[in-house]
Structure formats: structure tokens, C-alpha cells
Amino acid sequence: MSDFLSAYSIQNWLESCPQGYLENTTFGHLADEQEPELILSSPILREETIRATVQLVLGERCALAASSGLINAAPDEGSKRFLATQTLDEARHVEIFTQRLYDLGVRKNQLEDVLKQYANPNLIKFAEVLLEKVDKKDFIAGVVGQNIVLEGMAFSVFEMMYALSQGMNPKFAHTLSGTIADERRHVGFGENRIGSLIKEHPEKKAEVEKLQKDMAYHMLATFAEAFRNSPAQQEFQQLGAQARERGIQAEWNGVELREMPPEEMEQILAETVLKEFKVRLGRIGLEYQTPSRP
């Protein structure tokens, strides 16, 4: 437990995060980095970038509600303090992605309407399943739902977006890299803390496995909606071709994403996330449940 405490202490968080990789950043990136003119000047690319960013804000709002809600459900002081650092991380993620919406031209007084207009309904359901457990102060289900399922998903989505942004949008790539480092810490906590609790409470297994299956279903539906209804498909493919000509690659997990058809991207993302779930759940003594395909 002492190793666990020092790895996830506030002191460690201060040194590695605010005084480490976030030092000298402004809303997660360098002060002089901006969204590329290419996105800002094209109505369709700008709108699709806003739509994608809206999902990030909504996902992070869910993580903020879950991590703060779990503090008072945590059975030990070390977990409470870690979740306090996570709460600040998630609030920061909400803030930096909201700031990106402003950078893309969303007016502050339109924010809530824009979030409602572009929200992926499957992502809302995904969040509801998790927050229901948090509201009941169910620590084990809440941490598995948040730190394994939600953040496992976020981690892979951010990594894929990072691969696509690198070279094309250094500002957003920079914003993502700090977020990815945070998520890695959150996922690590989930695995480390929950394994022993599952062992102490084997009667919780079936319920938590069902939660994972339900959340995974809504996640796959979220991906399906996001990739299959992309009105800017042609524009993004053109951008990809231009980038390729300039020698800018977007390699992720050994595959080149640039110019890949959206249905193939959806498949690779879904496979990657589900594979990670399986491995992580196995490590904490849970059996992965395959969701039906939406």
C-alpha cells in the first residue's frame, strides 16, 4: 500500500504534472500555437472539428462528475487523495477542450446550445450508465466504469487523434499529449486499486462485468455514429492526401491512418479499445464480456 500511496500521491502529481509536462503550457499547448488556417477557413472542416471536440467536452464532463463523486465513496484515504488530483485533471480537460471550441469560433453564450446540438446520443447513454453507479456510491463499479472503461476508451481515442494531428495541427497535438499523460495515470490507478478490492468482494463480479458490457455497447454505438455519418469525409481525405504528399504520416499501432476509409478507422479503433479492456479486466480478475455489435 505504501508504494501505491507514493505513486498516486499529491506530491507525485505536483512534480510530474503541473511542475512537469504541463509547465509553460496555456490551455494545454504553447501560447503561440493556433488552430490551422485550413480548418478555420473551411466551414465544413470547422463544423466537423467542433462536432468532434464537443464529444471530448462531454466525455470529460462525465469524468469530472465521476471522479469527484467517487471521492466520498472511496474506502481509504490514499484513494480519496488520488481522486482529488484526478478531479482537477478532469476539470482541466473540460476547460482545455471547451477553450478549443472558443478557438474554433464558438461564442461563450452559445456553448451549452452547441454542446446539445452536436452531442452524440450514444455517448450520453454511455455516461448515464456510469454516473448511475457513482450516484449510488458504488466505488468498485464506479472505478471500473471510469478508470478502466471510460478512460481506456479516452486513452485510445486521444492517441488516434494525436497521430492524426501530429504534423497537421501541433496546437491540438500538444493539447492531447498532456491529456494522454494524465489518462495513463488514471488508468494505472484503476488497475492497481481495484484488483485487490475485487478479490475482497467476489460477489460484485457479475454486476461489474455487466456494467462493462453495457458501457462497451454504447461506446461501439458512439464510434459507429461518429465514423459513419461524417459529412466532411471527402475534405478530410483531401487533407490526408495533401499531408501525405508533404511526407507527413499518421501512424498508429503500426497502421497508416491517413486516407483510410472511415469504416476501417472505426474498426481499428474499436478492436484496439476492446482488446485493451480484455487485458486490463483480466489483470484485475474480471472476465471481459463481449458486447453485441450496434
93 makes contact with Fe ion (CB under 5 A): yes
DSSP conformation letters of 77-131: HHHHHHHHHHHHHHHHHHHHHHHHHHHTT--GGGHHHHHHHH--HHHHHHHHHHH
Span from 38-46, 76-84, 113-121, 144-152 in contact with Fe ion (CB under 5 A): 144-152
Shortest reach from residue 147's CB to Fe ion, in Å: 8
One-letter amino acid of 106: V
What number of chain residues touch Fe ion (CB under 5 A)? 7
Find the part of the chain contacting Fe ion (CB under 5 A) among 49-57, 102-110, 145-153, 238-246. Answer: 145-153
What's the CA gap between 269 and 275, in Å, rounded? 10
Distance of CA 268 to the CA centre of its chain: 16
Shortest Å, Cβ 181 to Fe ion:
11
Residue listed under C-alpha cell 480484455: 278
User: Is residue 134 close enough to count as binding Fe ion by CB under 5 A?
Assistant: no
Residue 193 engages Fe ion in binding (rule: CB under 5 A): no
Strand-strand pairing, 255-256 and 251-252: antiparallel
CA dist., res. 278 & res. 294, Å (int): 19
CA gap 11, 17 in Å, rounded:
10
Confirm or reject binding of residue 286 to Fe ion (CB under 5 A). no
Q: Compute the least distance from the CB of residue 151 to Fe ion, in Å.
A: 5
Residue 186 binds Fe ion (CB under 5 A): yes
Rg (CA), the chain: 19
- Measured from the CB of residue 276, what is the shortest distance to Fe ion in angstroms? 15
Residue 236 CB, nearest approach to Fe ion (Å): 25
Q: Could you tell me the smallest distance in angstroms from the CB atom of residue 90 to Fe ion?
A: 5
The region of 4-12, 23-31, 48-56, 92-100 touching Fe ion under the rule CB under 5 A is 92-100
Nearer to Fe ion, 149 or 168 (CB): 149
CA 61 – CA 117 distance, rounded (Å): 16
* 52-91 residues near Fe ion, rule: CB under 5 A: 60, 63, 90
Site residues (CB under 5 A) for Fe ion? 60, 63, 90, 93, 151, 183, 186
